[in-house]
Amino acid sequence: METASVAPETELKVSVMAENLIGSEIIKLAGEINEKIRNGEKIYNLTIGDFNPKLFPIPALLKQEIIAAYNNDETNYPPADGILPLRQVISSLLKNKMKLDYPADQILIAGGARPLIYATFQAIIDAGDKVLFPVPSWNNNHYSHLSSAQQLAVETKAENNFMPTADELRPYIGEANLLALCSPLNPTGTVFTKEGLKEICELVLSENKKRAHANTKPLYLMYDQIYWTLTFGNTVHFDPISICPEMKLYTIFIDGLSKSFAATGVRVGWAFGPKKIIDKMKAILGHVGAWAPKAEQVASANYMKQENEVDAFLVDIKGKVSSRLDAIYKGILSLKNEGYPVNAIPPQAAIYLTVQLNLVGAKTSDGTVLSNSKEVNKYILSEAKIGIVPFSAFGSSADSTWYRISVGTCTVEEIPQLVSNLKNALSKLQF
């Protein structure tokens, strides 16, 4: 009796979407670095946009509230849009801190920002619709793929701090169904100016007036402001609604606890926007089951009511983050002043520093030519023991000379050695 042949697992068929989905380049890089660390190498891992909880613990009161919520058996399903006390607290926070008026029924809670971004795409995009976004930026390409959307990626410029301008977006605005923006921006840690954001909002409003006459789907704006409380010095966060109130009809905000409170693993995020869109996102996530755990929601509501505690924590974490960003920035400038082909944009916000390593074409000591950003990245990891992320991982061209440094996992004390390692690696290159 013949045995039927079985195809190897690698030949199994899956959906076209899944077959062509690219995994996170950043997570892959971080995994490679963590493997080196497990093997005993001393690596400064500045890749992941996360915090070392030993250096950046969540607020003590939030931790106490989470424990209390579990002790109080808050472990059943939460409402699909999030518990009302949390949505009410967020409504008050938006009014007090941003002067934005969004009632609780226009706020949606989920397990961090990612499900909310996914739900925004799903609520707005039909297969074949076009999503317009700047690069470098985080994950818009992947969410477009998950939504069967066409991508309109616009490469931004260093002279504009890698923030998109109205002039750069204008040629594509008539084609787009969703404009995805982020400020403060991941990966750059830079922000929109008031005038720059106003010009983009006016572009959206002008386009939507045309579409209203044609009775077609408007152009929506997804505005990711997950880092908005982490601004430094004279940097000011601006939002579309405060600048152009008419944008309220078309804007979906993405926000949450993850970055402001070093609570990436707590998984409490929120979106707010037009009620119809928020209701559709609620229905989508209700089927996915992507709500934040109820205990964490109860705890977050109780914690965020304590405005003095919240404000004190934000002052503390901003000081910790900015001290690290400033130290690395000054270190990079010292290397630049010594004649090395490096540069950096002054820190503005978030937990990121934008650094230029203009090393493509340089020769290593064994004669190898560094021909692209990935090879530069590999060299810096090998010789300087520093893990950073090239902007090519955020959609920029492969020949970009710019990189993201994330400071949530390093101490101020180790930065001089980090800079020394980088100098040593640069000194070995022939230009």
Strand ranges (E), 75-118: 107-110
Give the CATH number of the domain where residue 30 resides.
3.90.1150.10
Taking the CA atoms of residue 197, residue 203, residue 208 and residue 209 in that order, the dihedral angle to the nearest 10 degrees is: 120
DSSP class of residue 15?
-
Average pLDDT over all residues of the chain: 95
Decide which of 280, 306, 332 is a domain's last residue.
Answer: 306
Q: What is the pLDDT of residues 68-107, one digit of tens each?
A: 999 999 999 999 999 999 999 999 999 999 999 999 999 9
Whether residue 181 is found in the same domain as residue 318: no
Decide which of 289, 306, 323 is a domain's last residue.
Answer: 306
What does the pLDDT read at residue 39?
A: 84
For the record, the structure tokens of 190 come out as 């830079």
Work out how many domains the chain is built from and give that number.
2
Angle at 29 between CA 26 and CA 30, to 5 degrees: 85
pLDDT band for 3, please (50, 70, 90 cuts): low
Q: Which amino acid is at 46?
A: L
Q: What is the pLDDT of residues 149-164, one digit of tens each?
A: 999 999 999 999 999 9
CA distance 109 to 84: 10
- On the question of pLDDT at 66 being above 60, the answer is yes
Q: Is 50 inside a domain boundary?
A: no
What does the pLDDT read at residue 75?
A: 97
Whether residue 198 is found in the same domain as residue 258: yes
- 342-344: strand order across its sheet: 342-344, 352-357, 402-406, 389-390
Q: What is the pLDDT of residues 91-147, one digit of tens each?
A: 999 999 999 999 999 999 999 999 999 999 999 999 999 999 999 999 999 999 999
Cis peptide before 390 (omega within 30 of 0): no
Strand ranges (E), 268-329: 269-272
If we measure between CA atoms, which residue out of 145, 146, 213, 135 comes closest to residue 181?
A: 135
The Cβ of residue 396 has, within 10 Å, a number of other Cβ atoms equal to 22
Whether residue 395 is found in the same domain as residue 350: yes
What does the pLDDT read at residue 305?
A: 97
Whether residue 28 is found in the same domain as residue 88: no
Q: Is 402 inside a domain boundary?
A: yes
Whether residue 184 is found in the same domain as residue 270: yes
Whether residue 259 is found in the same domain as residue 323: no
Q: Is 403 inside a domain boundary?
A: yes
Whether residue 357 is found in the same domain as residue 336: yes
Helix (H, G, I), strand (E, B) or coil at 271: strand
Whether residue 116 is found in the same domain as residue 252: yes
Contact 309, 61 (CB under 8 A): yes
Beta bridge partners of 231: 349
Q: Is 49 inside a domain boundary?
A: no
Q: What is the pTM of this model?
A: 0.95
Whether residue 269 is found in the same domain as residue 367: no
- On the question of pLDDT at 34 being above 90, the answer is no
Domain hosting residue 99, numbered range: 60-306
Q: Is 47 inside a domain boundary?
A: no
What does the pLDDT read at residue 38?
A: 87
pLDDT band for 1, please (50, 70, 90 cuts): low
Whether residue 317 is found in the same domain as residue 300: no
